[in-house]
């Protein structure tokens, strides 16, 4: 997709509808790769090494969020947006080359169905039987919708007339710094009540909503730094919970459900925030989003199906009796 976008930009033929269609295709690909990627980790990594592996994945992602925009800016300044997109496309080809080298052992799926709909029904039924997957995913839906609207859409708008795009970029990069640094401590941290960590982590992501009106670069950067800490904690807690509570043959299906709730929330939040600002004000929307995030956290932690989840430090396979 990046190659096609780069070609359109370089030939000066790019139109909005081109980008819309290619973005749609890109999103479809992400919908497939997201659960598949998270389903690979327990297969490739031994149980004792999975926690450091999840932390390393989070740190790598945070480094890319720090270095990526800087590298993109340098490429655009030195060449052009089209060539910067072409370089981005080349990194995807390089990543694909590395993935080809990864050998995934093939395993039989006892619950495999003849159609995608059948597989979805089996996965949804298993998610309901666990009790906590769907309620937690619904909470993630609300948190992500609020964050994508209040921060993703309104953040740059507010910054444009206050601290500028440079100030907002600096403040936003603090989130990646918080995520990266927290990883070093999470390796030594034992998480027993993961849903508490996840909900508090989601609430930490709402702190920039308070600091953005009125806005200062320092205050906003500190808020994003704490948000990065929360993101690191909730990402690890969710990964550990899923790999412990969900057998390997169901893991990708559960992650697909999680991804659906999380990703569908983002465009919803982006579309709703505009009409809300027209009805109220930017500050009211930011404060209201922050308060609603706190309410969702409290309600979630008061829900037994969510709050009672405990981590024992073992995998589903380890619970099975040894074959005789």
Q: Do the domain assignments include residue 201?
A: yes
Q: Do the domain assignments include residue 321?
A: no
Q: Do the domain assignments include residue 54?
A: yes
Residue-by-residue DSSP string for 147-200: HIIIIIIHHHHHHHTTTHHHHHHHHHHHHHHHHHHHHHHHTT---S-HHHHHHH
In the chain, the number of structural domains is 1
pTM of the full structure: 0.77
Dihedral (CA of 146, 151, 154, 158) sign: positive
Please, which pLDDT band fits residue 316 given cuts at 50, 70 and 90?
Answer: low
CATH of the domain at 263: 1.20.1250.20
| CB 83 within 8 Å of CB 203 | no
Render pLDDT for 143-165 as a digit per residue (tens, 0 to 9): 999 999 999 899 888 888 888 87
Q: What is residue 50's three-state secondary structure?
A: helix
Read off the pLDDT of each residue in 199-221 and give the average, rounded to a whole number.
89
Q: What is residue 62's three-state secondary structure?
A: helix
What does the alpha-carbon distance between residue 301 and residue 201 come to, in Å, rounded to a whole number? 12
Report the range out of 13-17, 46-50, 137-141, 156-160 with the highest average pLDDT.
Answer: 137-141
| CB 35 within 8 Å of CB 255 | yes
Dihedral (CA of 106, 107, 110, 116) sign: negative
Read off the pLDDT of each residue in 45-72 and give the average, rounded to a whole number.
74
What does the alpha-carbon distance between residue 204 and residue 274 come to, in Å, rounded to a whole number? 24
Range of the domain at 290: 2-104+115-313
Q: Do the domain assignments include residue 319?
A: no
pLDDT > 60? residue 9: yes
The reply to whether omega before 214 is within 30° of 0 (cis) is yes
Please, which pLDDT band fits residue 321 given cuts at 50, 70 and 90?
Answer: very low
Q: Do the domain assignments include residue 75?
A: yes
pLDDT > 80? residue 33: no
Residue-by-residue DSSP string for 237-259: HHHHHHHHHS-HHHHHHHHHHHH
pLDDT, mean over the chain: 82
The reply to whether omega before 124 is within 30° of 0 (cis) is no
Read off the pLDDT of each residue in 299-309 and give the average, rounded to a whole number.
91
Q: Which residues contact 120 (CB under 8 A, 6 or more apart)?
A: 253
pLDDT above 70 covers a percentage of the chain that reads: 90
Q: What letter would DSSP give residue 12?
A: T
What does the alpha-carbon distance between residue 38 and residue 53 come to, in Å, rounded to a whole number? 11
pLDDT > 90? residue 77: no
Q: Do the domain assignments include residue 109?
A: no
The predicted pLDDT at position 107 comes to 55
What does the alpha-carbon distance between residue 261 and residue 56 come to, in Å, rounded to a whole number? 25
Render pLDDT for 195-208 as a digit per residue (tens, 0 to 9): 999 999 999 999 99
């Amino acid at each position: 997709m990046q190659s096609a976008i780069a070609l359109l930009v370089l030939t000066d033929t790019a139109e909005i509808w081109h980008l819309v269609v290619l973005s749609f295709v890109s999103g479809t690909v992400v919908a497939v790769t997201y659960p598949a990627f998270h389903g690979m980790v327990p297969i490739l990594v031994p149980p004792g090494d999975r926690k450091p592996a999840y932390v390393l994945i989070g740190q790598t992602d945070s480094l890319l969020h720090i270095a990526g925009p800087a590298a993109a800016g340098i490429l655009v300044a030195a060449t052009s947006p089209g060539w910067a997109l072409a370089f981005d496309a080349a990194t995807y080809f390089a990543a694909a080359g590395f993935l080809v080298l990864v050998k995934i052992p093939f395993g039989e799926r006892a619950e495999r169905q003849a159609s995608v709909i059948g597989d979805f029904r089996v996965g949804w039924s298993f998610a309901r039987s666990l009790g906590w997957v769907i309620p937690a995913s619904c909470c993630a839906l609300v948190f992500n919708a609020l964050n994508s609207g209040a921060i993703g859409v309104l953040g740059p708008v507010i910054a444009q007339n206050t601290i500028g795009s440079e100030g907002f970029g600096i403040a936003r990069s603090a989130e990646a710094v918080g995520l990266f640094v927290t990883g070093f401590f999470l390796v030594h941290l034992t998480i027993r009540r993961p849903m508490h960590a996840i909900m508090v982590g989601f609430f930490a992501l709402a702190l920039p909503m308070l600091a953005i009106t009125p806005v200062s670069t320092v205050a906003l950067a500190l808020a994003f730094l704490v948000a990065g800490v929360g993101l690191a904690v909730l990402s690890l807690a969710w990964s550990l919970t899923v790999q412990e509570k969900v057998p390997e043959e169901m893991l990708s299906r559960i992650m697909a459900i999680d991804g659906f709730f999380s990703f569908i929330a983002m465009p919803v939040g982006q579309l709703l925030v505009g009409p809300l600002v027209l009805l109220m004000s930017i500050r009211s929307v930011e404060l209201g989003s922050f308060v609603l995030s706190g309410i969702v956290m409290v309600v979630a932690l008061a829900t037994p199906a969510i709050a009672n989840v405990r981590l024992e430090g073992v995998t589903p396979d380890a619970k099975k009796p040894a074959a005789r």
